[in-house]
Amino acid sequence: MYVENVIEKVKLKYPDQKEFHQAVQEVFTSLALVIKKDKKYQESAILERLVIPDREIYFRVNWVNDVGKIQVNQGYRIEFNAAIGPYKGGLRFHPSVNAGIIKFLGFEQVFKNSLTTLHLGGGKGGSDFDPKNKSDGEVMRFCQAFMNELYRHIGPYTDIPAGDIGVGGREIGYLFGQYRKLTNRFEGALTGKRFDWGGSLMRPEATGYGCVYFAEEMLKERGETLAGKICTISGSGNVAIYTVEKLYHLGAKPVTVSDSKGMIYDEAGIDVALLKELKEIKRVSLEEYIKFRTNAKYIKVGDYKEDTNAVWSIPCFAAFPSATENELNGKDAKTLLQNGCKCVSEGANMPSTLEALDLFLRAKICYGPAKAANAGGVAVSGLEMSQNASMHPWDFETVDKKLHNIMENIFSISSQTAKEFAEPTNLVLGANIAGFRKVADAMIDQGV
Ligand code: NDP
Ligand code: 2IT
């Protein structure tokens, strides 16, 4: 009853924040067993404390576009929980951003960061600013204006933002430049910086590579590998690109990518160099892909069945949702399972609806929930913080090896915890309980 009551109160108190309800429901439902077993969590009101962020910062961002017109956006930084380390989590720039989206992402980040084994608390931020079709100058002026407020809330031992949707190396550069000018300090207050001025090697690759390493771990336990297998990927941004790249390293065949306008099905295998050129350099629609790869198919959003994502209609052994929340619903999950999909490793945050998640768990396929499978990105951000603090950069192999170890550890603690609660294949339960315990115990240790 305790768990259900807290979930209900969240829904009543924040009626518009649907994504936040969904994340709370997903995490708390799987905590029921540990809450029942260990009375201290209820006695310390841990769930009530976890659903209210330590601090929510909402601010206005004024900037001037290329034709001299004043633009106004909403900025957010939600500092959720710092029991095990400074607030850490990305910034998302996308027109769909609102308080509910940032809260769901910040809430998830608390447990994800706990799983990394590093000392990182959880937070998230962003803006409804849309970087699409903006000039570099406009993006720079927006980032500078955003930092004019954000700088007073962040710092290497307080809160360390990074990238997420719409925030990559270019945006982190402008944000860092403004932070440095305002504070006169060169310090690791942001991660995802370019290597030459304080970034970590492997940070751009980390989320995608980590997500594939996690899939490998899940499959290994069942005596399977990705070699020679057809894989489908949604999205075509940072996470998707490096998922595709790592799948090739392991001998798999990635055949799809997508963006908000449509998807590519390239039966011969996605051309990763072309993908990088189109998305990292030219920043154009995926429709351009078929000009260079004439045998590939392009399916526009809207040209496929309503209420389903065309990516998940392509038969595959393993699926890697890497675009955005709720991009894979119950219908999509059924299609994947009917087509023989054996593994889903989530690169995006909360890409599966609750119905889809339930179907994957019941089918007992290898299902790697986002907070475990995509934790490689924030983990390498944590490694970037270590390198900044020691002023000593590590080489690519060192960071890759540490990332690999972290992903193995996340699988192992999630799987062991799932076994402890007699649900051996349920990594949702395992990851949620393992992530929760560390944070909740720290909160109890540190008093009310
Ligand atoms: P990018 O901005 O680099 O790429 C996002 C991709 O997803 C683009 O292809 C974009 O298409 C597509 N997309 C975004 N929103 C929508 C939407 N509403 N509908 C359809 N497609 C959409 O972001 P990332 O690759 O960094 O992030 C992807 C996911 O991974 C997000 O869920 C993010 O939270 C998560 N994540 C990211 C990490 C990181 O380190 N970057 C770490 C862990 C998780 P288009 O370009 O047309 O908008
Ligand atoms: O969702 C995520 O974990 C991220 N966007 C990365 C956060 C980070 O601090 O690197």
Q: Is 346 inside a domain boundary? A: yes
Q: pLDDT tens across 9-31, in order? A: 999 999 999 999 999 999 999 99
Structural domain containing residue 304 = 206-373
The order of strands in the sheet holding 122-127 is: 55-64, 70-81, 122-127, 87-93, 159-162
Q: How far is residue 238's CA from residue 339's CA, in Å, rounded to a whole number?
A: 27
What does each C-alpha distance from 167 to 102, 280, 379, 406 come to in angstroms? 14, 12, 18, 24
Q: How far is residue 128's CA from residue 148's CA, in Å, rounded to a whole number?
A: 17
Q: pLDDT tens across 130-151, in order? A: 999 999 999 999 999 999 999 9
Q: pLDDT tens across 331-344, in order? A: 999 999 999 999 99
Instruction: Give me the pLDDT at residue 323, please.
Output: 98
348 with 331, same domain: the answer is yes
- Ligand with the closest atom to the CA of 320: 1
7 with 112, same domain: the answer is no
Give the residue from 11, 28, 52 where a domain finishes. 52
Q: How far is residue 201's CA from residue 216's CA, in Å, rounded to a whole number?
A: 22
2 with 126, same domain: the answer is no
The answer to whether the CB of 164 is under 6 A from ligand 2 is yes
Q: Is 24 inside a domain boundary? A: yes
329 with 263, same domain: the answer is yes
100 with 171, same domain: the answer is yes
Instruction: Give me the pLDDT at residue 153, please.
Output: 98
Nearest Cα residue to atom 43 of ligand 1: 374
Instruction: Give me the pLDDT at residue 187, please.
Output: 97
Instruction: Name the active-site residue from 103, 124, 279, 342.
Output: 124
Instruction: Give me the pLDDT at residue 276, please.
Output: 98
In 3D, which of 145, 138, 53, 130 has the Cα closest to residue 92? 130
Return the percentage of the chain with pLDDT > 70, whole number: 100
Amino acid at 139: V
Q: How far is residue 126's CA from residue 166's CA, in Å, rounded to a whole number?
A: 9
Instruction: Give me the pLDDT at residue 406, please.
Output: 98
Q: Is 442 inside a domain boundary? A: no
Give the residue from 323, 338, 373 where a domain finishes. 373
Q: pLDDT tens across 57-78, in order? A: 999 999 999 999 999 999 999 9
Q: How far is the CA of 66 from the centre of ligand 2 (A)?
A: 30
Q: Show the beta-strand stretches assigned E in 204-323.
A: 230-233, 253-254, 256-258, 262-265, 297-300, 318-320
Q: pLDDT tens across 232-247, in order? A: 999 999 999 999 999 9
The answer to whether the CB of 381 is under 6 A from ligand 2 is yes
Instruction: Give me the pLDDT at residue 113, please.
Output: 98
| First-last CA distance in the chain | 23
The answer on pLDDT for 305 being more than 90 is: no
22 with 132, same domain: the answer is no
Q: Is 127 inside a domain boundary? A: yes
74 with 46, same domain: the answer is no
Q: Taking all residues of the chain, what is their mean pLDDT, rounded to a whole number?
A: 98
Tokens representing 242 are 């490096």
123 with 245, same domain: the answer is no
Q: Which residue has the tokens 């500078």?
A: 144
Strands 253-254 and 256-258: unpaired
Q: pLDDT tens across 153-196, in order? A: 999 999 999 999 999 999 999 999 999 999 999 999 999 999 99
Across the strands, what pairs with 160? Answer: 88
The order of strands in the sheet holding 297-300 is: 256-258, 262-265, 297-300
The answer to whether the CB of 259 is under 6 A from ligand 1 is yes
In 3D, which of 309, 412, 324, 314 has the Cα closest to residue 368? 412
Mean pLDDT along residues 317-328: 98
Classify each residue of 363-378 as buried b or exposed e, where b means 16 or more C-beta atoms within 10 Å of its C-beta. bebbbbbbbbbbbbbb
221 with 341, same domain: the answer is yes
132 with 256, same domain: the answer is no
4 with 138, same domain: the answer is no
Q: pLDDT tens across 366-419, in order? A: 999 999 999 999 999 999 999 999 999 999 999 999 999 999 999 999 999 999
- Ligand with the closest atom to the CA of 211: 1
The answer to whether the CB of 165 is under 6 A from ligand 1 is yes
Q: Is the pTM of this model over 0.85?
A: yes
Domain count, the chain: 3
Mean pLDDT along residues 282-307: 95
- For the domain that residue 129 is a member of, what is the CATH number? 3.40.50.10860
362 with 224, same domain: the answer is yes
Give the residue from 16, 31, 52 where a domain finishes. 52
Has 124 been annotated as catalytic? Answer: yes
Instruction: Give me the pLDDT at residue 306, please.
Output: 85
Looking at 169-225, list the stretches that DSSP marks H as alpha helix, in order from N- to C-terminal side: 169-183, 203-220
Instruction: Give me the pLDDT at residue 127, please.
Output: 99
Q: Are 171 and 164 contacting, i.e. CB atoms less than 8 angstroms apart?
A: no
